[in-house]
Structure formats: structure tokens, C-alpha cells
Structure 1
């Protein structure tokens, strides 16, 4: 089998799917890209490149010159390292379909590598389409950016290692939680012909975030066990998490009479400075709220470090002190793009809500963060 392809186009497309390839995969064949050339394709010969880790599969189509069809499994890392070092030029692949030896010919070089039998590569999962949704990549990227960072890394709670997606005829709700914080992100410009819920794994969403271009349509298809996202020449298929997601609505406090409105960058920059002085294990900071003023403070008793800053804010409520994990707060506020935000609080031992005061069109964001028990320092 022989085919000719642009080195830069091949590198770009393979880089988009390379994130799936695990460093130490369960099955050695998964260290390879599966190349399949279809010379009889309508519109011209196409090279279909596939990468998989058994849970997630990414497929991309690349236009090539070829008069033969065939397939080969090629070592992903070796091929990518070779392509990164090449200038833009047409390169020719010669594949011996019996021994799976592969030669790459360039303008001034020849590279020989050992491929593997494509039959050993796992079969691409099919998505028996029970539900299909059309959406823009910008909407999907925004949903991923606002939620995926709050997913859990605890494999003992698999339901929380992904993002819960709730589709209705009115909107799409994305929910992520790790037990310490919860993000509910709602898109009013995404809807579904029928109501459905599913949990999409964190790795699949992280790969989508890295490979999704801006301003392109995305076709999302869902079955009982798999999800497929197709955009441009690329498709990603992932296995859904078959677990029950926590009843997140009951975790969101309803009555929060103490409301503080403040500039997002003001409090975020202050938190970043103050958390330097917080305990390195707990990252505990203290928020002291009074009429139109917020005092942020931290103390590390182990090293006798402490810091305090006072900020102006609009606060309506009782004087109160509440502790939070500064690392969680800065990550949450850093993912928002609003200028002003509201903190809605009820008591020092109850969860606090962070809600953008100026909303983007077609989106609603609610962030919940659990407090931490304060030390007794004054």
C-alpha cells in the first residue's frame, strides 16, 4: 500500500487525536495509530486515522493521494516525533501489508519503522443513535471550561469523575462536583427533542476542549452507553459513566439572606495574594463581612505567617465570618468572565453560592462552595 500526504496536515490532524493515546496502555497495540486508506471514497482517497484507549476513541479523516486501499497500525510517538522535525512537504508512505514494515520517504530522507497488524486494533464502538443534538463548538467549549475543573479525581466515586448532562426541550444543564464545590452551568441555546440525562467522563471532555476549534457546528449523538461528538473532519466516541449522579438540586441552599456584590478581579487578585500566607495543606482563608466592607485574611500558625486585606463591596446582611479553601475559590473565580459577582450566604457552616451579576447571553451559572471550619485566631 502506498499513499502521499502533506506532512503539516498529517501532523496537525494526528496531534488533535494524540491525547487519547495512553503512555502505558492496557493493550500494547493502543500505543499505535490505526491508519486506514480508502482509495474508492467518493470525493477522493481518504486516510482515516484512529486513536483509542478502550474508553475513548478519536477518529480524523485526511485527504491523501492513493490508488490502493489498506490499513496499518503505526507507532504514535515515533511517527509524531518524526513529523515534528520535518518541514512542510509531501511525504510518501510505503506499507508492506504482509510484514507491516513501513517506510516514510521525504524530499531528502527515508525513515523505516515497524508497524503492527491492524486486526489487533480494538473495534471502533458504534453509537446506536437514540438522541442527536446540534450545537455550536463555542457553546460546548464554554460548558466544558466552566465545569470540568470541578470534577472529582476520586475513582471510588465514579459518578463524580464526569460531568452530568441534563438535556430538555428548553435547555441543557451541565453539572460537576467533587464534594467540596458544585458547578451548575446551563445553556439556553442547546435543547433536545426528548429529555435525557448522562454522565460524560472528564478525560473525554478534556480531549474535546483541546481539539475543538472555535465557531464550528458540533453534532452530538448519544446512546445508552456511548456518546459521539463530530466536528469538521474529527469524531470522538466515549463510553458514558454508568452510575447514579448525586441529587445536586437538594445541595443548593435556597434561603441566603446575606448577599455581597463585588468586582470579580478585585476579590480574585486579593485571594491570590492572601493565599500565599495560608496554611499550605488546608489553604484556609477567612472572609469577614461587614456593611460595605470585606476583610480577607489568612494565617499559617506553623510558620507564623499572616496577611490581611480590606476591600470595598456592597454587602446586605448580618456581620459574619466564614472560612473557605482559597484554592477552590480562586479556581472557580478564575473560570468566570463576569465583571461583578454576588456571594449569597446564610451561615458560616452552610454552603455559599457564587453567581455572576452580569450574565452572558444564553447562559446561567451557579457555583456552590462548601465552607471550612475556621481556626480560632482573631
Structure 2
């Protein structure tokens, strides 16, 4: 019974401290929470919790505050994630579904998380390296130049120019890809009919396949076309694979950074270390990726000194993966002080990640 009561005392301390931002004393716990025991018993429980490292006394004669270890126990065993209300869920779905393109979707998702949590939101762009091909479009743009439009299954749109038969002196203002060695395509290679057939074959071969499977699928297409078209088909196939394999996963959206300046955030080491840590995007994304892959409720939490970045030693990071058809293609997270509303933050991150997955192209 004493173990359960001490956990109840810890939960009450965490909840009160998050709400009031003031150290919590035994008398306050007795008055605010129906713990069913005397202040003396609560003081004994607080002493045991302090000895175990779950709470600490910041000043003499002050109440107690949770430590990183206390927050960890709270998150792992005590926190009850509050589901969002029906109006909140409808508002999230409506707001995201009204986006006009991928940039708008991710910008809206970041603003939503920042608004719901009152903290900083971090949204990673879907990585083309993890994507498949949703649709390929081929558009002749004059002469022997071809515009190749690559639409990934995460909704990213990339445009590349292919100079059919061009050499190293191709115009530097465009992304030009030399066609591989082999027979030169005839002047009619870029007519609408030929391109339409080639486009249909490549799209059919890519259907349902991830990046790692595309080279083999496209090789079969190249082998099946006329020899005069093989260099063009191979050039297009290589360009698509190279585009989807581009290292673009380091692009992120930050929203709500101004929230860190609010008085209630109150970082002991000041705001500068936190802002500098947010600029370390590669390391930050590595942390978010680790969190999103942790087993459990689909949301990872890293508290205080558990974070690898020194600037985040006074913060907690909550993150979840998102992606269409159940695949994680990127990460969404929230960063705030260790004195955060963990149940609310976890619920908000999880809900926005789910709706973001739903509105991604499938």
C-alpha cells in the first residue's frame, strides 16, 4: 500500500508543479488531493521519494519539485494520456485537410502542435529516400530536352530536365543527365505517343514498389522496349531513382519558437542554449528518429539529461512518426521544458501525427 501511495504522491507533485510552477509542500498535497492520509504521512512519503531521487528540494524550507527521474517514472507508469475532445479532433482534421500542397500541410501541422502544446513544434519533411513512385510524368519542352516530373508516394513533387543525348556541356541552369552509352534515340523519340507509352510502362512497373525495388523493375522496362528507345528509357529510369534517393530528409519545419520566450518557460541556464540546440538540425533529427522508433504507445519521450544535446538538458522532447499506409516516412515532435504537461503533449503529438498520416497521399 505504501508503494502505491508514494506513487500517488509523486503523481500529485508532478501535476501540481506543472500547473503552478511552484515547489509543492505536504500541506498543499493534503488540501488539493484526496490521498486519505495525514500531512505527516505524506511528509514521510516525500522523504522516501526524495531519497530515491524522484523529487528534490530546490531551497531550504521549500516544497519539492520532480527530478528528471521523477518525470520519467511519471511518464512510464503514472501519466494517463487524455484523449482530445471531439471538437479538437474535428478542428485538426479540417485544418490539415484544407492544405493545398505538402509545404502547406507540414506548416499547418507544425502550427497545430505549437498551438495545442504551447511549445516548439518540429516537423520533418518526408524523405524521398524512403519513398516510392506515385506517378511519373514526361513533358517534351523543345528540341531534345525532356521535363521529368517525379511525384513520390508521400506527395513530394520534383522536376528534373533530361537532355536526351546531351554531353557534359549541358546548360548548367538545369539538372541535366547524360543518356547512357548506346544507340542515339531517333528524332521522333520525344513524340507524344512514344512518351505516353514509355510513361505508362514505367508507372506500371513502379506501382507498389519502394525505392530499393525500382532499379530492377525499371531494368525490365528498358529490356522490353525497342533498342532505339532503350537509352531514353534508361536515362529516365536512372533519373527517377536518383531523384527519389536524394538525401533530403534533413529539411524540417520549426513552429512556435517564440513560445520559449514566455515567462512560464523559465530555463535555469537561459534561453540561448535551447535555441542553439534547435539549430543543430541533423543531431535533432537523429534524436527525434530514435524517439519515434521506441516501442510503446507510438510516441517517444526523452526527458532532460536523457537528451544528447546539452542545450536540451532542461527540456523534454516528445516525438512520433507519421506516414501513409502505416509506414513511417518522417517525424513530428514537440519540445518544451521538463515541467511540461506530458499527457497533453503526448496526446497532441499523437493526434496530429495520425491525422497527418491520413491526409498524406497514399
- TM-score calculated relative to the size of structure 1: 0.23
Higher relative contact order (CA 8 A, sep 6+): 2
Taking structure 2 as the reference length, what is the TM-score of the superposition?
0.24
Higher share of residues assigned strand: 1
Larger radius of gyration: 2
